[in-house]
Amino acid sequence: MTQINWMEEVLKRKDDYLKQTIELLNIESVYDEATITKEAPMGKGINEALTYMLNLGEKDGFIPKNVDGFAGHLEMGSGEELVGILCHLDVVPAGDGWSHDPFDAIIKDGNIYARGAIDDKGPTMAAYYAMKIVKELGLPINKRVRMILGTDEESQWRCVDHYFEKEEMPTMGFAPDADFPIIYAEKGILDINFKQMQLNEDNESEYKLVSFSSGRRVNMVPDYAKAIVSGPSFDQEAFTKHISELGCKAQVSEENGHQVLAVEGVSVHGMEPDKGKNAGIALASFLNQFEFNVNADRFLKFIVENFKGDSRGKNMGVAFNDDITGDLTINLGIMQYEENNGGSFGLTLRYPVTTDIDFVITTLTERGSKYSFEFNEIKNSKPHHVPKDHPLIQTLQKVYEEQTGEEATLLTIGGGTYARSLSAGVAFGPLFLGKPEVAHQKDEYAEIDDLLKAIAIYAQSIAELVK
């Protein structure tokens, strides 16, 4: 395939790629319970994004299929074997503090800014254009190639669960939803909830926690926290100093005669919490210095004693590490408390390939009960890895090295990509080594030149895999 100048083919289609990427990014494809229907099981916006891609593919000559609104695919080629390219069209909520409308994509200084620019709409359209190039060049295709379009990757993966109940499992494939060169191993993902079990009668205390709220998703580090408190006035200077020392910003106001304490942190993907600043933990750390009623006290202590300064599970008694995928990590992504209903927490735990997960679950259950919180498992996605000598990895390494001139080092990840739903699947780009990780952050962006390079890499990879 070396006679084809893949980047030249990409540049011929650059304007169309950017136009259609912007159109896709401008669809607010966030999970929305309020607009769920039989045809749109994840809500109106996500269904609109799925429909957009299926219509685009049909117009360009691919065979489209909508699988009950949960997912879809675009297919080309023929043969017994099936190469899968697993993408997702849903995005996390925008969050606060954007410099512009997160669903009105803009191009500035060589970047494209919007929610989903790098996770995962920009890369999805890059993989689509790679398929389009291979198709339009009329290259020999001795296998089928199928782009699978998921709609629920950012929450419960109901899309791929439903899809593979109805559709064929690819022989091998890749997900353009992480880092280059190649991610061959992914940690397990355990999403859990803790709910305050037994509420005690309100006791006399200096302060009363009316409410506490931080975080929207377990897989995001919360960038905002708010507590409404009754009681003596806090020292605003001390509050600001405490929060500042934890890398966050503080604000105090009044609401219906109560003090309102707000904290602004830094949101990042929950697979590596230390790269962000958890606003909820910072706020709980300050409040935990004061006397509250027993229910609020247990809520605050659960946060501070287990998670302040520790994302590795040491305080919870579940720390673990292996040579394949590194440290276990925990992200406290949701913290909620209401005076009359008690508290609850949502966590995502990313655990190494060789972890004894039964021990972890038992230990977490016991740890939660110490604070009168009940453990509930939401979802457990087991670890995934592909042997280093597998033909898929060998092919992708060869292409990456030819395209970039750099060694195709094999990586591991704490995040979960659709690649783990395949017996032989890897995550493959689009983020190049050394580039900042901005997925799930405010002002998310993708570098246009890098997306174009990714198209060239994906196009050659597809051509090599289907020979």
Average pLDDT, the chain: 95
Among residues 127, 137, 144, the alpha carbon closest in space to that of 56 is found at 127
DSSP label of 432? P
pLDDT in tens, 161-219: 999 999 999 999 999 999 999 999 999 999 999 999 977 776 778 999 999 999 999 99
Query: What's the first-to-final CA gap in the chain, in angstroms?
Result: 10
Enumerate the active-site residues: 90, 153
pLDDT in tens, 21-54: 999 999 999 999 999 999 999 999 999 999 999 9
Bond before 387 cis per omega within 30 degrees:
no
Q: Which pLDDT value is given to residue 3?
A: 87
pLDDT for 444 beyond 90: yes
CB 130 within 8 A of CB 464: no
pLDDT for 429 beyond 50: yes
State the Cα–Cα distance between residues 106 and 445, nearest whole angstrom.
Answer: 9
pLDDT in tens, 359-375: 999 999 999 999 999 99
Q: Pick the residue with more confidence: 124 or 340?
A: 124
What value does the mean pLDDT take over residues 120-127? 98
pLDDT for 122 beyond 80: yes
pLDDT in tens, 287-321: 999 999 999 999 999 999 999 999 999 999 999 99
State the Cα–Cα distance between residues 329 and 100, nearest whole angstrom.
Answer: 32
pLDDT for 2 beyond 60: no
> Which residue is listed with tokens 């030249």?
8
CB 213 within 8 A of CB 256: no
Percentage of the residues of the chain whose pLDDT score is greater than 70: 99
Distances from the Cα of 132 to the Cα of 63, 87, 126, 179, 426, angstroms: 12, 16, 10, 22, 21
pLDDT in tens, 60-85: 999 999 999 999 999 999 999 999 99
Q: Which pLDDT value is given to residue 177?
A: 92
What value does the mean pLDDT take over residues 386-401? 96
State the Cα–Cα distance between residues 277 and 267, nearest whole angstrom.
Answer: 7
Angle at 329 between CA 194 and CA 189, to 5 degrees: 70
Rg (CA), the chain: 23
Angle at 77 between CA 72 and CA 80, to 5 degrees: 90
What angle do the packed helices 391-404 and 448-465 form, to 10 degrees? 140
CB 112 within 8 A of CB 106: yes
Distances from the Cα of 80 to the Cα of 62, 336, 373, angstroms: 18, 51, 52
Q: Which pLDDT value is given to residue 1?
A: 43
pLDDT in tens, 204-244: 789 999 999 999 999 999 999 999 999 999 999 999 999 99
DSSP label of 273? G
pLDDT for 277 beyond 50: yes
Q: Which pLDDT value is given to residue 421?
A: 86
